[in-house]
Amino acid sequence: MPTEQPAWILARRHAIGARLRAAREHAGLSQLALADRCGIDHKTVHRIEYGTSDPSLGLLLQIAHALDVPLADLVQ
């Protein structure tokens, strides 16, 4: 059974999701379009944006590249 994560991790996950959503909308992309650019399922983008998924560093790098933003802008 997985252990529950601390509240600060959940808060950071939500903040990353909000930054991702803002960057995606600024780029004029839907979740589906971003997912297509990254070669992932659009549900994965949705889960990251809503803080219900722990994206890997590799996936965050792909997303930052697809949005043409520095990774630091998504995870700061």
pLDDT tens, the chain, 76 aa long: 567 889 999 999 999 999 999 999 999 999 999 999 999 999 999 999 999 999 999 999 999 999 999 999 999 8
Q: For the stretch 21-58, what's the b/e string if a residue is b when 16 or more beta carbons lie within 10 angstroms of its beta carbon? A: bebbeeeebebeebbebbebeeebbbebbebebebeee
Residue 2 is predicted with a pLDDT of 62
Q: 66: exposed, middle or buried (C-beta count within 10 Å: 0-12, 13-18, 19+)? A: buried
Domains and CATH numbers, the chain: 13-75 (1.10.260.40)
